[in-house]
Structure 1
Amino acid sequence: MSLIYHVVPAKDWARFETAPMYEANSLQNEGFIHLSTESQVAGVLERYYQNATDLLLLHVDPARLTSELRYEVATNNELFPHLYGPLNKDAIVRIESIN
């Protein structure tokens, strides 16, 4: 099983703690939820969360997703996974505190 990952501030995650689905702000603003492969997580943290604290890393099984997942060209011409719809929480296999 090859997992994909989503970085989220703990305070944002807390709003969805009891809900069956999670919706990042980007779903409303950009139409999808940003995800990363394992090798991309460090770069995402460095680029977008350098001074952030209290972050969580969601470990997601793409085989369990109910919304459409597409790999699309983004930063540095890398293919990043984008989820076009809410993230069903039963696809999350682990939640890790990363700082």
Structure 2
Amino acid sequence: MKIALICAALLATLSSASALAADPAAAAQKAGCMACHTMDKKLVGPSFKDIAAKYKGQGDAVAKLSDKVRKGGAGNWGQIPMPPNPAEKIGDADLKEVVGWILKS
């Protein structure tokens, strides 16, 4: 009986993690991205639409933006810094999904 409960809990955890990765908007919300960014207007940081336009056609955009999200920084969109976002805040798979979603905005 205990093994069945453990297996059920493990499956529920795995399915919720994959559901989060499948929903980049939810992952962005959970990671706190939406506290400073919106889809179509500047808030604290640039809109996702503006980010997508700036990086349109750049083949390395996902890697470049993922690195910027991880390291944080300032100067690309003004002087307000974006804090670093470590893997504990948003995992690599979710980060890649979110950045890809942003670039499609």
Q: TM-score range by the shorter chain?
A: under 0.3
Query: Of Structure 1 and Structure 2, which has the larger fraction of its residues in strand?
Result: 1
Query: Which of 1 and 2 has greater Rg?
Result: 2
Give the TM-score taking structure 2 as reference length.
Answer: 0.25
Query: Of Structure 1 and Structure 2, which has the larger fraction of its residues in helix?
Result: 2
Give the TM-score taking structure 1 as reference length.
Answer: 0.26
Q: Higher RCO, 1 or 2 (CA under 8 Å, sep at least 6)?
A: 1
